[in-house]
Structures are given as C-alpha cells and as structure tokens.
Amino acid sequence: MELVASNKVVGGWHKRYRHASTTTQCDMTFAVFLPEITNTGQKVPVLYWLSGLTCTDENFMQKAGAFKVANELGIAIVAPDTSPRGDNVPDDPKGDYDFGLGAGFYLNATMPPFDKHYQMYDYVVTELPQLIKSHFPVTQQQAISGHSMGGHGALTIGLRNIEQYSSISAFSPIVHPQQCPWGIKAFTGYLGIDTKTWQKYDATALMSTNEFEQPIPILIDQGDADGFLDEQLQPWHLQKAAEHINYPLTFNMREGYDHSYFFISSFIDEHLRFHASHF
C-alpha cells in the first residue's frame, strides 16, 4: 500500500492509501480514520462507509463531521472509492454521471467491457476488509453504512452477509433499484437484460425473498425535501417488505432535509451511536 495523505484529527488519524487491487484489476484508493485509542495499539471495531454517485472516499471524510463521535466511541471508519478508476477502466460512453466512473453500484458486473474492473461487491465484501485487518488495529467486528447509491450498497451487502456485520444503516438509500431510473440503467449496463440477475443487488427484493434467522438491525434516515425521493429512492418499498416479515428496521423521515451532506452531518452521530450499541 502507498500512503497518499495523513492528517491528525481529534487525537486520531485520517489516512488515505492507494493499492493495486486484484479484484478490480486497477489501483484503488481508500481512506481510514483511526481513533486516538489505536495510538496505543488497541484494536477497535470498524464501520465501512459507502458513498454515492460521483463521490470518492473524500466526500464523507471531509464533509460528514464524524470524527469526534467516532473517536469518543472508539470506532474506525473505512471509506472506499465508489468505482474502479484509471485510464483503462471503461466509463459511460455518453459521459453521464450515473454510470461508469464514480458509479460502480457496489455490484459485480458481468457485461463487457465492465466485467473486468467493475467488481465492487467483491472488493467491499472481501478484498478491502482483508486488507484492513492485515494492516490496521481493528477487531473482527464490522458495521456498514452509506448514502444514496452507497446506501443501496450498504443494504444489499449487509443483507447478503449478515454473519459479517453487526448492523446496517443508510442515508437516503436507493432501496428498490429495479424500479428506478438510476438502478435500471446501472443494472442493464453492468448485468444485462435478464432481470433475474438483478435480484441479489436489490434490497427490497432481498428483504422480500429471504428468511433471516438472525436479522441484524437496520437504521435509515431520509429527508422529506430530498429531490430524488419519489423517482429514485422510494423508501416505502423497503419499509413494506420489512413490515411484512417483522424485520428490525428503524426508519426516520426527517422534515426539511435534502440529499446533501448537510443532512448526513446532522444525523451521523446518531448512526455512529447506533452501530456502537450493536458491537
């Protein structure tokens, strides 16, 4: 791994690294926050944060204001990039923001030319956690969270890998991508037209078709002034599916809040405390 940047913050450290990924077959960048208690070598649980469309690891780390409470609670935070990147990594042919670079949708692409590099599901589930556990003072305890496209990633990855995570949370997640323009475009381009292959990357479908013997708690916050609420996010689909099987999901509709990091920074402390309570 190559250390790209290092900044002391609230007694701990924020660091960015670049490494050659065998999963995405390109260089990947991620950021990690290590709370002050790790300066002594003590191991801490880790929260994986998945960002949304057009973002990188920097958006959450610079805008969410999560470090003080994460330091207080003794939680490390890891923020990967949102897609593979590089000169040889294919992008949306039209240059649209909602597909290609910055829009990996946390799935394993099967359609060429994207199948070679766009393996973000395996990267987040397997390669990155192995890297973190090998190089940083973290325990086996993990939680996962994210925003928008990253909220979609957190929900689907968490629900498919319940044994790996203590809890899941999301801000403004895409909960039913098979039924919204962002998801339909991404799934068609990355997975093809057979909608049966889409099911495992759709949180509502996973909630509707799976039996969870030991479900892990989910916390979702959504702003009612979010411009993407009705067309793209549609949280009521997941709420209905969760209610049907009595899944432990807490949903908060926040009056006046939009889709931005102003919203995330307003409630990130509650999400950190939620995850801490389940470690």
Residue 2 in this model has a pLDDT that exceeds 90: yes
Q: Above pLDDT 90, what percent of the chain?
A: 97
Active site residue 87: no
Q: Which position among 147, 152, 259, 271 bears the catalytic label?
A: 259
For all residues of the chain together, what is the average pLDDT? Answer: 97
Distance between CA atoms of residues 222 and 168, nearest Å: 15
Categorize the per-residue pLDDT at 7 as very low, low, confident or very high, splitting at 50, 70 and 90: very high
The string of DSSP letters for 103-131 reads B-TTSB--STTTTTT-BHHHIIIIIHHHH
Residue 136 in this model has a pLDDT that exceeds 90: yes
Categorize the per-residue pLDDT at 134 as very low, low, confident or very high, splitting at 50, 70 and 90: very high
pLDDT of residue 253: 98
Residue pair 233/146 in contact by the 8 Å Cβ criterion: no
Active site residue 224: no
pLDDT of residue 39: 95
Q: Which position among 148, 166, 167, 169 bears the catalytic label?
A: 148
Q: Which position among 83, 221, 226, 275 bears the catalytic label?
A: 226
Distance between CA atoms of residues 82 and 89, nearest Å: 13
Categorize the per-residue pLDDT at 211 as very low, low, confident or very high, splitting at 50, 70 and 90: confident
Q: What is the pLDDT of residues 72-99, one digit of tens each?
A: 999 999 999 999 999 999 999 999 999 9
The CATH superfamily assigned to 2-277 is: Alpha/Beta hydrolase fold, catalytic domain (3.40.50.1820)
Q: Worst-scoring range by mean pLDDT, 25-29, 87-91, 106-110, 208-212?
A: 208-212
Which of 210, 147, 156, 220 lies closest to 187, judged by CA?
A: 156
Name the residue with higher pLDDT: 213 or 70. Answer: 70
Distance between CA atoms of residues 192 and 172, nearest Å: 26
Residue 213 in this model has a pLDDT that exceeds 90: no
Categorize the per-residue pLDDT at 210 as very low, low, confident or very high, splitting at 50, 70 and 90: confident
Q: What is the pLDDT of residues 240-253, one digit of tens each?
A: 999 999 999 999 99
- Reduced to 3 states, what is the DSSP secondary structure of residue 190? helix
44-50 and 249-254 beta bridge pairing: unpaired
Q: Above pLDDT 70, what percent of the chain?
A: 100
Residue type, 39: N
| Domain chopping of the chain, boundaries | 2-277
